[in-house]
Amino acid sequence: MIRIVRSFDAQPGKFSQLLEIAEDIKGYLRSQGVEMELYREPFGYSGRLHWHVDYEDAEAASETVIDVVSNKRGQELVARMETLTEGHADVSFLFEEL
- 92: which strand partners? 4
What domains appear along the chain, each with residue ranges and CATH number?
2-94 (3.30.70.100)
Span 78-84, mean pLDDT?
A: 87
Q: Is the model more confident about 48 or about 89?
A: 48
Answer whether residue 30 shows pLDDT above 90: yes
Angle between helices 72-84 and 58-70 (to 10 degrees): 90
Q: How far apart are CA 52 and CA 93, in angstroms?
A: 10
Write down the pTM of the prediction: 0.81
Read off the amino acid at residue 5.
V
pLDDT in tens, 33-58: 999 999 998 887 788 999 999 998 88
Contact criterion met (CB below 8 Å) for 9 and 45:
yes
H-run or E-run covering 68: helix 58-70
pLDDT at position 21: 93
Please, are residues 82 and 15 in contact by the beta-carbon 8 Å criterion?
no
What pLDDT was estimated at residue 36?
A: 95
Q: pLDDT value at position 20?
A: 95
> pLDDT averaged over the chain?
86
